[in-house]
Homo-oligomer: A and B are copies of this chain.
Amino acid sequence: MWLRASCLLEFDFPVATPFLLMLRPRSGTQQWIAREEYLLSPSVPAVEFTDPFGNLCQRLVGPSGPFSIRTTADIESAEESDAAPGAPFVEVQDLPDSTLPFLLPSRYCESDRFAEMASKIVAGHWAGYDQCQAIVDYIRTTIQYAPGAGQQIISACEVNENSQAVCRDMAHLGIALCRALSIPARMVVGYLATLQPMDLHAWFEAYVGGRWYTFDPTQQSLHGGRVAIAYGRDAADVAVYTQFGDPVELLRMEVRVEQLTSPPA
């Protein structure tokens, strides 16, 4: 499936403001970036680096006055996210080193406090993929997905006390529950073609059966058409923009995803 995804951010800075951005998706096993644009208006110097999670991050100083960032990408994305019911739990001693940071508690995923709850949710399920699926089902049926309802980032513990949540919150809870079972889990921020209303989206991946699999507690079934922009331990690692200095208002944010009828040529 070929998608054109774009994100527009508009600011009006009272003073020059340093910025850190994560808005450049990378080609990976499930997506291929055929074309992309990253436009700064007005044009200012920017540099790029790779963070410890492998994300491409952009650094710049936004000038005082109006400033906009517009990114667009044409991406080939898998029609369906891979699913693997029955894929087994990987014993901790057999996990690849690179997955281990995703077993630890993190800013918004206090996995050490979810051992009991996780055990109850997955009771009777095969260890591994089926446990993750049970967690997703639990979240989806217990907490109402309410896009736009959450402004402040809240942690898995806080989500757990609410009856409704945004995608990010639901991912935090899913991650915390997986880690409590010693299943590595990580946050993904990106685009989802079928999302209604359109916005940036967040979901999570869990490592079972020898690879990472996609889970999304906001969706009834596992839609494809996903474009990962950034990976991290939780929302603290994957903010699409981080601004330093006195807080500035985001005047406008516009996200679009359309399906292309043919590959870019």
Interfacial residues, chain A to chain B (CB-CB below 8 A): 18, 20, 26-29, 32-41, 43, 45-54, 56-61, 76, 91-93, 97, 100-101, 103-107, 110, 182, 236-237, 239, 242, 244-245, 263-265
Q: For residue A214, give the distance in angstroms from its CB to the closest CB of chain B.
A: 16
Instruction: With A20-B100, A51-B101, A92-B244 given, name 9 new contacts (CB 8 A).
Output: A18-B91, A18-B182, A35-B37, A39-B264, A41-B265, A52-B53, A57-B97, A61-B93, A182-B245
Most chain B Cβ neighbours within 10 Å, of A45, A49, A106, A242: A49
Q: Are B182 and A236 in contact (CB under 8 A)?
A: no
A-B contact pairs, 30 of them (CB 8 A): A18-B91, A26-B48, A27-B47, A27-B58, A28-B47, A29-B47, A32-B45, A34-B38, A34-B39, A35-B38, A37-B264, A41-B265, A49-B97, A49-B100, A50-B50, A51-B101, A52-B53, A57-B97, A59-B97, A61-B93, A92-B244, A101-B237, A103-B242, A103-B244, A104-B239, A104-B242, A105-B107, A106-B106, A106-B236, A182-B245
Among residues of B, the one whose C-beta sits closest to the C-beta of A105 is B236
Q: Are B33 and A38 in contact (CB under 8 A)?
A: yes
Q: Are B39 and A27 in contact (CB under 8 A)?
A: no
Q: Which of B27, B28, B46, B91 contacts A32 (CB 8 A)?
A: B46
Q: Within the assembled complex, what's the spacing in Å between the Cα atoms of A20 and B236?
A: 24
Q: Are B46 and A54 in contact (CB under 8 A)?
A: no
A-B complex: 3 closest residue pairs judged by Cβ atoms = A27-B48, A18-B92, A49-B97
Q: Within the assembled complex, what's the spacing in Å between the Cα atoms of A105 and B36?
A: 30
* Residues of chain B with a CB closer than 8 A to A103's CB: 242, 244
Among residues of B, the one whose C-beta sits closest to the C-beta of A235 is B105
Q: Are A54 and B50 in contact (CB under 8 A)?
A: yes
Q: Which of B61, B76, B107 contacts A107 (CB 8 A)?
A: B107
* Residues of chain B with a CB closer than 8 A to A35's CB: 35-39
Among residues of B, the one whose C-beta sits closest to the C-beta of A152 is B112
Q: For residue A167, give the distance in angstroms from its CB to the closest CB of chain B.
A: 20
